[in-house]
Every structure is written in structure tokens, then in C-alpha cells.
Amino acid sequence: MYNEFLLLHNTLRWLLLISLVVTLVKYMAGWMGKKPWTKIDNLLGIVFTSLMDIQLLLGLTLYFFLSPVTKIAMADFGAAMKDNNLRFYAVEHFSIMLIAVVLVHIGRAKSKKAKTDSGKFKIATIFFLIALALILGGIPWNRM
């Protein structure tokens, strides 16, 4: 079951990144081009945020229930902090991705409350760009 969840988590990462890049390109064009906020813009935000939530649930399932890596790390947390790989999965990856999810939700909520279309695009773009930087920094590129 662990391998299936890990495969799903890894595959969803690419869908999430594609969704984020498409959404950011559309939002930046809307912000810079002073375009109106449309239903498509709202839908892009919903899809991206939903993918983030699904990814979070998969990650939490792996972290708390299925991952042998986190089980080893939690068995001796002090020793795990001295091991780069264990520390990365037990603390760094988890923390970075959780912050990214929170930023996406804040950006989505604040953009919905913005008074102008330009404000909606601007707020969402800024929060989503920061989340993108965190996501890219938190992906275990060299650990795959």
C-alpha cells in the first residue's frame, strides 16, 4: 500500500505543478494586462487549490501511517535530526509543503475578497509564486 500511495503522491506532483504554472501564467497575464476576472480564472484557482489539498491528504497519509522513513525517524527523533535524509522527510519536506498549502489557501481567500479584478490577479499571483518557490524547494529532487 505504501508504494501505491507514494506513486500517486509522486504522479500528482506533476499535475499540481502543471496546474500551478498554467494558473500563474493566466493570472500574471490578467494582472499585467488589466483583464477582467472570469469564471475560468476562478476555476483555475479552484482546481489548483483542490490538487494541493489532495496532495496534502496523500502526504499526510504517507507521513503518519505508511512511510517506513518517517517511522524510522520517529523511533529516534534525535538521531533522525543528524541524518540528512531522515531529517528532510521528517521535518523539512513536511514543514515546507504545509506552509505552501497554507499560502495557497490564504492567497485564494484574499484574492476572492479583493475589490478589483487586478487586485484578485495580483494577490493570487504573489501568494501562488511564493508557494511555487517553496514547493520547488521542498520536492526531494536529489532523493528520488
d(CA 98, CA 111): 20
Taking residue 106's Cβ as centre, other Cβ atoms within 10 Å add up to 14
Residue 104 exposure: Cα atoms within 13 Å on the Cβ side: 29
Residue 61 above 70 pLDDT? yes
Rg over CA atoms, the chain: 17
Q: What is the pLDDT of residues 108-124, one digit of tens each?
A: 999 999 999 999 999 99
Q: What is the pTM of this model?
A: 0.94
Cα angle 17, 140, 20 (rounded to 5 degrees) comes to 10
pLDDT at position 142 is 83
pLDDT at 6: 96
Tell me what pLDDT residue 143 has: 67
